[in-house]
Amino acid sequence: MEIEIIKGERADIIRIRRSGGAVDETTFPKKGPIPHDAVHVIVEDELGLRRGFWGMVGDGRHPEDIQAIAKEAGHASAKRAGTPDASIVELIQAERLVECFEAEAWSAPADDEAFRAIAAAACSQSHVPAPLLRADAIATIRARLARLKADWTALPVGESLRFSWGDGGEAS
């Protein structure tokens, strides 16, 4: 599956080209210096979260359906979260970790132990365990996000970044 994120002025566009030729498209508002769903690609890939946002999209779901899936499985939002159905645990873990890494993109990174503590607290609030966050994985995600931020900042409006999400649930 090819993921294309097109830079807009007020909102960005996600275009997904599936292996069978189908194309899905959606827009999303700007939420900081880098596209939220591109952060998902990097975090989910590096941590092997195959049932996160992009794994579900890769399984045929439309990006706009993911929030409804989470709500139906017991997780309307972090504030109104109940114990989620097992089918969305990685989806929630991915969302909490993406938020933690985005916060670092907006400011300075925490040390690894502080980052793990913040991530654990965020996951706990959503009633899911925090995934293992090895130092090398944290460093790799940070480096990939730094490249993403530089590439996205330099990208003119109307241009795009592309990612591939493979059948095994990994990005390239």
pLDDT digit string, tens, across residues 73-130: 665 555 555 678 888 899 999 999 999 999 998 887 889 999 999 999 999 988 999 9
Cβ 32 vs Cβ 103: under 8 Å? no
Q: What is the pTM of this model?
A: 0.90
User: In what side-by-side order are the strands of the sheet with 23-29?
Assistant: 23-29, 11-17, 2-6, 160-164
What is the spatial distance between Cα 152 and Cα 4, in angstroms, rounded to a whole number?
A: 12
CA distances from 95 to 4, 49, 106, 156 (A): 20, 11, 17, 27
Q: What's the pLDDT at 105? A: 83
pLDDT digit string, tens, across residues 62-74: 998 988 887 776 6
